[in-house]
Amino acid sequence: EVQLLESGGALVQPGGSLRLSCVASGFSFSSYTMSWVRQTPGKGLEWVSAISSSGVSTYNVDSVKGRFTLSRDNSKNTLYLQMTSLRADDTAVYYCATGRSYYDSWGQGALVTVSS
């Protein structure tokens, strides 16, 4: 059974930084492109970032370019999203998900709140 477990969500001040992690199990993690998708009540679901199976290639939505960095450690079956220069509109539940296109499996989500 595919399992994705996010951690690292927190309350952070505007301009601050945070790192989310996603530990995967139940599938061949190193063979999959992985993504982060966020959800807010106002803007709905939004694809944020994706990384190739090897980690060589990453892709980001324009609104997070230069601020968010996606990486992975295939030896630890773990995905990381380093977020810097956080803004109020980054407040969301962040999901890690398998694939980039449609998303087969999702984690339970990590809540990131950016507020002073």
CB of 13 to other proteins, least distance (A): 27
Q: Quick one: 72 or 107, whose CB is closer to other proteins?
A: 107
> What string marks each residue from 49 to 88 as x (binds other proteins by CB under 8 A) or -?
----------x-xx--------------------------
With contact defined as beta carbons under 8 Å apart, do 6 and 96 qualify? yes
Q: Quick one: 31 or 101, whose CB is closer to other proteins?
A: 101
CA distance 44 to 31: 29
